[in-house]
Structure 1
Amino acid sequence: MKKLLSLLFLVFILLSACQTKQSRKDKIIQSPNIIFILADDLGYGDISCQGQTKFKTPNIDAMAAGGITFTQHYSGSTVCSPSRSVLLTGQHTGHTPIRGNKRDEFGNWPLPANTKTVAKMLKEKGYTTGAFGKWGLGYTGSTGAPNEQGFDEFFGYNHQTLAHNYYPYFLNHNQDTIWLEENEGTAQGIYAPIPIHQQAIKFIENNKNKPFFMYYPSIIPHAELFAPEEYMEKYRGKLLPEKKYIGSDEGHPRFKAGGYGSQPESHAAFAAMINLLDDQVGEIVAKLEELGIEKNTLIIFSSDNGPHLEGGADPDYFNSNGPFKGYKRDLYEGGIRMPMIAYWPGKIKAGSKTNHLSAFWDFLPTVAELTGAQQPENIDGISYLPTLLNTGKQAQHDYLYWEFHEKNGRIALRKDNWKLVRYDVLSPEITTTELYDISTDIGEENNQAEQQPELVKELLKLMKDARTKSEVFTFE
């Protein structure tokens, strides 16, 4: 009897150990996958669920219908590189390492080696990490290269200037250069968003049985304006009057990197590009469903800054900035208020909306709370997970802050419903000061600075205290 009891006890211990091991395995597998889709220069009004009437975005709309839409969400900056730096570090442009589109002799100014990114944070939690699209935070071989900043795999444009061109001669796969051949019988090469998307889908397939973070910074619809012919056919002659753009190549789609190609049908091209982006969003969702992991995957869709004016773009024709004033490089709402949709079947209430005040620097702490990861110190973001899941108390920002180093310097700060905007800050003799009540004046038309001197004084002090000095991105 004694031997039997000992044997039973041993079996119990072994079974418990196996169950504990399996429980840990299940916990890892059930850690939510995270996908962040970042459009490039897509305006607040460039998706049909937010007012676009000249074309449709059914797949993005479906995410909004099945998830939550943030109506007061802001990008990290009003141009590419700093906005991405903010997103990945959880620090606004007063603190994040890359605060402008500055270059050194080799390419985009690189993130320092000691930068704590969301990818590094998630790798510590056992996540596989991949980035597919436009990087712009450090060239191959630098401390800012994707593989040096926490990404296991990268495929796309390492340098953002090269991402001006949709038919490039090469792309980067981790440290390797992937040369793209010309299409047989044509002057064009390969339309880069297509192989980038294929690699992203492959990444999802390869990591279906373990937690992954996929950062998908598409180059669409950044200038220049080109789309594959099958998409152009859908819109050709339908968005009149057309806008012809003469670029630096006299019509040839492959030329010296950095310029913009000529486009005789810019309106059709713009709609076609967003059509392709929308299809790619739909294919990502469909792949998750095919693999049976859609209910364990959080998808967030947004854009890095407001609509651009280069390369034949015509944001006024499309009402790309919606009800807001300003474009890319502006710190008015049109330059920094972005579409933001979060989709997670079974976790996020379908068709919900929130006016919670949020920004790119909130993504990192949200992911940290979601996964139990240890977030870095000295970040500016707050988690919006309570808003996503409609549970718990949602923390609020004291204020939001942006600085822009071009155009003679621009600064903006939002506190509650008040927004202070200053232009030409590098020339004090001509600096402008504008104060708007965003709750009643979303078009920023009624400057109340003279009527609210004490409030202006308070917000100016917050502006001054919101930043630390940078030896690289000087702003004095």
Structure 2
Amino acid sequence: MRKINIIYAIFTLLLVVSCKPKDKEKKETIKINQPNIVLFLVDDMGWQDTSVPFWNKRTPFNDLYQTPNMERLANEGMKFTQAYATAVCSPTRISLMTGMNAAKHQVTNWTLNKDAIQPMESNHKTLSFPNWNVNGMSPVAGDKNAVYATPLPQVLNDAGYYTIHSGKAHLGAIGTPGENPLNLGFDVNIAGHAAGAPASYYGLDNFGNGKKGQEKWAVPGLEQYHGKDIFLTEAITIEAIKAVDTAVQKQQPFFLYMSHYAIHSPIMGDDRFVQKYYEKGIDSTEAKYASMIEGMDKSLGDIMDFLEEKNIVDNTIILFMSDNGGLSALARGGKPNTHNKPLNSGKGSAYEGGIREPMLVKWPGKVKEKSVTDDYVIIEDFYPTILEMAGIQNPKTVQEVDGQSFIPILREEKTNTNERPLFWHYPNEWGVSGPGIGASSAVRLGDWKLIYFYKNQKLELFNITEDIGELKNLVEINPEKAKALAIILTDYLKEVKAQIPANKKNGKQIPYPAEVLN
């Protein structure tokens, strides 16, 4: 009997040993077959801050800025002419990481200090603002003033992806779990923290570290570049490529969230590119701005070159997007609120200049080269799209995902995308004045867009296809359309329990859009 047991044990051991290599091989095959994903997000980049035209014709801005690698990406993939984010950064980033619309996740303004609304909100003369989720997002249930959600990188990480964050995070307030990308499913965090802008782009300035009064804004974790003549955009790109190389060596699929601080203020010239813009004779601030754009574009090119060098370009998806419209109301050279024309206004505005973005997608073997779509998409659509690209079916999330996958658009299938309403909700105060800037809600359905401004309870209706600059308010000319959209917008705000500002004098909630038409 003992002899039989020994023989059985030996047989079992041989069986286990012989199976192990096959199991390992199968696991590696699964990893290799999963596509690598690069999500390249630029901060404050306007729809025309590129040499790639996203309209039916080129504009003077397209001829000013030089982005050869964006041109390269457009030639290798699909260009989206009507891609939307929110008007300021944190709401977009939370929508990206949760798949939720801002009206629902209620991180409706930019975050920084824990449990504190912005001074421009508390000091507003006529409006009282809601207690929005000032602490950003959290992977932990019950965190005060934060939206509890399953982060996009966490789902990818659970599915076997090596997840890399490089650059700006701005997902949670100081001292909260969401402040650190490592708490949100990232394996690597390069230079990401609570602040939404750098104290300095210059390594010679130590990226703001050591400067009194700049502690909140100083970029963390890049000590090896302190005192060196290097631009922040370059430094975080170098570190991102190193992290990607780690994944390549491990034969593990990777998700790179290349989230640039550029081209957010402070506007600081990138010495590698700025001189040629000075020589064009343009405003010096605008020359610096243009150099920051080109530095960002070089980062894109460096990543694309690396993918080719490592022979993984055919199994890597690249998505390019901006987090809000181009900065124009302040800090720029020239006349404010003109830097995105023909689009009206810029960052912080409910007009197209504040929410329409440059967007590109390359998916080798899936997306036709040099293709263009006029179908519209919005930032929360990235969440389900990326998960579908990764082959993750029916992911378990604690939040309801609002976004819709735009893979049918990428495949050039017939869709009814433009028949669904898109919603924006900003019950806040940015603190800067300009066209369309202030507390507002908006809806777009097909060619039509309705904006409701809470301060004066004014409705504005535009046909975006015919009037891209939103210069002609059609509320009085087409009251039926205005009413129909106002009802759609009101019903949505009520359905998701969107927070609404109140009148500061009497404490009463400002009426819903449909109510001002009664």
Deviation at 1:305, TM superposition (A): 0.9
C-alpha distance after superposition, 1:276-324 (max 9, x if no partner): 1111100000000101111111101111111113664248699752531
Please say if residues 167 and 260 of structure 2, whose CA atoms lie closer than 8 Å, have aligned partners that are also in contact: yes
| AA partner of residue 246 (structure 2) | N
User: Which of 90, 100, 108 in structure 2 is aligned with 1:99?
Assistant: 108
**Which residue in the other structure is 1:401 paired with?**
423
Within the alignment, does 1:461 sit opposite 2:450 as a pair?
Answer: no
The equivalent of 1:193 in structure 2 is 233
Does structure 1 residue 234 correspond to structure 2 residue 269?
A: no
- Secondary structure of residue in 2 paired with 1:382: coil
Structure 1 counterpart of 2:343, one-letter code: F
Corresponding residue SS for 1:199: helix
**How far apart are residue 334 of structure 1 and its match?**
1.0
Match 1:220 to one of 259, 262, 270: 262
Gaps of 5+ in 1: 1-10, 243-264
Residue 368 of structure 1 aligns to a residue in which SS?
A: helix
Q: Deviations over 1:433-454 (max 9, x none)?
A: 1111112221212211123323
1:299 alignment counterpart: 318
In 2: Cα distance, 1:200 partner to 1:213 partner: 11
For the Cα contact (< 8 Å) 2:169–2:196, is it kept in 1? no
CA-to-aligned-CA distance 1:233-260 (integer Å, 9 cap, x gap): 23223233x2xxxxxxxxxxxxxxxxxx
Q: State TM-score, norm by structure 2.
A: 0.76
The correspondence of residues 284-433 of structure 1 with structure 2, limited to 5 A, is: 284-309=303-328, 312-314=331-333, 320-373=339-392, 374-375=394-395, 376=397, 377-390=399-412, 398-404=420-426, 405-406=428-429, 408-423=438-453, 425=454, 427=455, 430-433=456-459
Matches within 5 A, 1:437-452: 437-452=463-478
State the TM-score, normalizing by the size of structure 1.
Answer: 0.82
Which residue in 2 is equivalent to 1:262? none
Q: Unmatched 5+ residue regions in structure 2?
A: 1-13, 117-133, 141-147, 210-214, 430-436, 503-508, 511-518
Could you say what secondary structure the match of 1:95 adopts?
helix
**2:168 and 2:261 in contact (8 A); partners too:** yes
CA distance in 2, matches of 1:471, 1:419: 21
Show CA shifts across 1:1-22 (max 9, x none): xxxxxxxxxx999999966763
CA distance in 1, matches of 2:501, 2:35: 36
Q: Which amino acid aligns with 2:482?
A: V
Return the match for 1:40 from 39, 43, 59.
43
Q: Deviations over 1:78-102 (max 9, x none)?
A: 1111111111111111112422114
The verdict on how the C-alpha distance between 1:53 and 1:45 changes in structure 2, with shifts beyond 3 A counting, is same
- 2:93 aligned with 1:84, yes or no? yes
Match of 1:245 in 2: none
Counterpart check, 1:169 vs 2:208: yes
Q: Distance in 1 between matches of 2:247 and 2:277?
A: 37
Whole-angstrom distance in 2 between the partners of 1:353 and 1:42: 20
- Are the aligned partners of 1:44 and 1:322 in contact in 2 as well (CA < 8 Å)? no
- CA distance in 2 between partners of 1:15 and 1:386 (Å): 43
| Contact 1:169–1:180 under 8 Å retained in 2 | no
Tell me, in whole angstroms, the C-alpha distance in 1 between the residues paired with 2:449 and 2:42.
25
Question: Superposed, which structure 2 residues align to 1:7-156 within 5 Å?
Answer: 22-50=25-53, 51=58, 52-75=62-85, 77-105=86-114, 109-112=135-138, 113=140, 114-139=148-173, 141-144=175-178, 145-156=180-191
Task: Return the offset for 1:382.
Answer: 0.5
Hey, what's the Cα distance between the residues in 1 that align with 2:334 and 2:378?
A: 23
> Closer, same or farther in 2 for the Cα pair 1:24/1:105, shift >3 Å?
closer
Amino acid at match of 1:400: L
Distance 1:67 1:181 in 2: 34
Given the superposition, is the C-alpha separation of residues 316 and 381 from structure 1 closer, same or farther in structure 2, using an over 3 Å criterion? farther
Partner AA of 1:134 in structure 2: K
**Residues 48, 190 of structure 1: CA spacing in aligned structure 2 closer, same or farther, 3 A cutoff?**
closer
Distance across 2 between alignment mates of 1:115 and 1:239? 49
> Larger deviation: 158-167 or 65-74?
158-167
The alpha carbon displacement at 1:472 in A equals 11
Counterpart of 2:227 in structure 1 is 183
Q: Share of identical aligned residues, percent?
A: 30
SS, match of residue 319 in structure 2: strand
- Assess, with a 3 A threshold, how the Cα gap between structure 1 residues 393 and 228 changes in structure 2: closer, same or farther: closer
CA deviation vs aligned residue, 1:41-68 (integer Å, no higher than 9, x gap): 1111111111311132111111001110
Describe the shift of the 1:156–1:472 C-alpha distance in structure 2 as closer, same or farther (beyond 3 A): farther
* Distance of aligned partners of 1:142 and 1:105 in 2 relative to their CA distance in 1, 3 Å threshold: closer
Letter in 1 for 2:263: P
Q: State whether residues 268 and 288 of structure 2, in contact with CA within 8 Å, keep that contact through their aligned partners in structure 1.
A: yes
CA contact (8 A) 2:177 2:183 kept: yes
1:130 shift after superposition:
1.2
Contact 2:168 2:197 in 1 (8 A): no
The residue matched to 1:183 in structure 2 has which SS? coil
Give 1:203's match in structure 2, choosing from 222, 225, 243: 243
Determine helix, strand or coil for the equivalent of 1:49: coil
Contact 1:308 1:315 in 2 (8 A): no
Secondary structure of 1:71's aligned partner: strand
What is the CA–CA distance in structure 2 between the aligned matches of 1:41 and 1:419, rounded to whole Å? 22
Count of residues in Structure 1 that have an aligned counterpart in Structure 2: 432
Contact persistence 1:224–1:311 (CA under 8 A): no
Q: Distance in 2 between matches of 1:157 and 1:190?
A: 18
Provide Cα deviations, 1:362-420, integer angstroms capped at 9, x if missing partner. Answer: 00111122223234352111101122233586755621011122154111110111100
State the 1:192 CA deviation.
Answer: 2.2
Alpha-carbon distance, 1:37 to partner: 0.8
Paired residues of 1:412 and 1:420 also in contact (CA < 8 A) = yes
Contact 2:40–2:319 at 8 Å: present in 1 too? yes
> Do the aligned residues in 2 keep the contact of 1:68 with 1:343 (CA within 8 Å)?
yes
Letter of the 2:200 partner, please give it. Answer: N
Change (3 A) 1:179 1:106: farther
Matches of 1:353 and 1:432, distance apart in 2 = 35
